[in-house]
A and B are shown apart, each in its own frame.
Chain A
């Protein structure tokens, strides 16, 4: 399968714990995006990278959230000191970059904070 892959698919954690999600984009895609989706809502933009550079961060991305893409390939999204309000589906997407808005999404990582 050469699509976007995310790991883990499901994560249950206790409030206050740290969690990390990984995303492997489609190999030739230089852009990588993180979105968050809560039940019944559309995805909300969090941040995106072009190669290893993080070019934009949403105001939704509090200082407890950090994303990296160290070598311009896979990316990680870490949430520190999780809160119940962080419970959501975290979606990763990738694209070839300019000229098209078509984002290819992964299956998502569902986070439940107890």
Chain B
């Protein structure tokens, strides 16, 4: 229900520390994964993506790790800054599935303490 949905998993980190946000997916047919960041009152913003033929991809201050064996995805943020405070969503797309239908997870709220 609505009250359960409000209780997002929350990760609280100190400014300058590294953050790791985890995501479990259930569909072994998923071949493409994306991390989005959503700040309060705004639309989701693309961070980084990874295809299933890779297990790691790096961007600027962010790294995505994919473990297909256990169907787990993680987002690592280096030297976390206050501006990183937001809700982070992983999303997946199934191989052969709709080109439009990204399935989003529930999200994790990242809180950065100065």
At the interface, is chain A mostly helix, strand, loop or mixed?
A: loop
User: Is there an interface contact between B93 and A40, defined as CB atoms closer than 8 Å?
Assistant: no
**B-side contacts of A44, CB under 8 Å:** 104
Which of B4, B44, B105 contacts A105, CB < 8 Å?
B44
User: Is there an interface contact between A39 and B2, defined as CB atoms closer than 8 Å?
Assistant: yes
**B-side contacts of A107, CB under 8 Å:** 41-43
Shortest beta-carbon distance from B8 to chain A in Å? 6
Query: What CA separation (Å) do A93 and B43 show in the bound complex?
Result: 9
User: Is there an interface contact between B107 and A101, defined as CB atoms closer than 8 Å?
Assistant: no
Query: What CA separation (Å) do A101 and B51 show in the bound complex?
Result: 10
Number of interface residues of A (CB under 8 A): 29
Shortest beta-carbon distance from B29 to chain A in Å? 15
Query: What CA separation (Å) do A78 and B79 show in the bound complex?
Result: 44
User: Is there an interface contact between B45 and A105, defined as CB atoms closer than 8 Å?
Assistant: yes
User: Is there an interface contact between B100 and A39, defined as CB atoms closer than 8 Å?
Assistant: no
User: Is there an interface contact between A101 and B5, defined as CB atoms closer than 8 Å?
Assistant: no
What 1/0 mask marks residues of chain A from 25 to 68 whose CB sits below 8 Å from any chain B CB? 00000010100001111111101100000011010000000000
User: Is there an interface contact between B99 and A98, defined as CB atoms closer than 8 Å?
Assistant: yes
User: Is there an interface contact between B5 and A38, defined as CB atoms closer than 8 Å?
Assistant: yes
